[in-house]
Amino acid sequence: MNRVFKIEAEIKIKAEGGRTWPIKTGYRPGFNFVDKMQTSGSINLLNNDDLKPGDKGTVEIKFFSNELLGEIQPGTLFKFYEGPVEIGSGIVLKVIGWADNNY
């Protein structure tokens, strides 16, 4: 079983200039917590089946490494991307830390 680094966050999908269709649990964008450093993670929607452009929701995000996250703590702001295109932004609500990855 793999271990992952988890956070709980509130995210908002950009209404314009990003995605034109909703995201669902399992969505894997690139995340930017530290200027010009990007890492990938997997989003688990906690209270919604999907999030459409312009929507906001609470999510759990899993990272396989915490090296590029910086000093994250509740209140840390971040952005997420598909390649070079910014899809949305978020704020860390809770740092869960290292946990077993239950597929």
Q: Residue 1 — very low, low, confident or very high, per pLDDT cuts 50/70/90?
A: low
Q: Are 20 and 6 in contact (CB under 8 A)?
A: no
Q: For 28-72, what is each residue's pLDDT tens digit?
A: 999 999 877 889 999 999 999 999 999 999 999 999 888 888 889
Q: For 70-96, what is each residue's pLDDT tens digit?
A: 889 999 999 999 989 999 999 999 999
Please name every residue paired with 51 in a beta bridge, in sequence order, or none if there are none.
23
Q: Are 12 and 89 in contact (CB under 8 A)?
A: yes
Number of separate domains in the chain? 1
CATH number at residue 36: 2.40.30.10
Q: What is the pTM of this model?
A: 0.91
Q: For 6-19, what is each residue's pLDDT tens digit?
A: 999 999 999 988 88
Determine the residue type at 35.
D
Q: Which domain holds residue 59?
A: 3-100
Burial, 8: exposed, middle or buried (Cβ in 10 Å; 0-12, 13-18, 19+)? middle
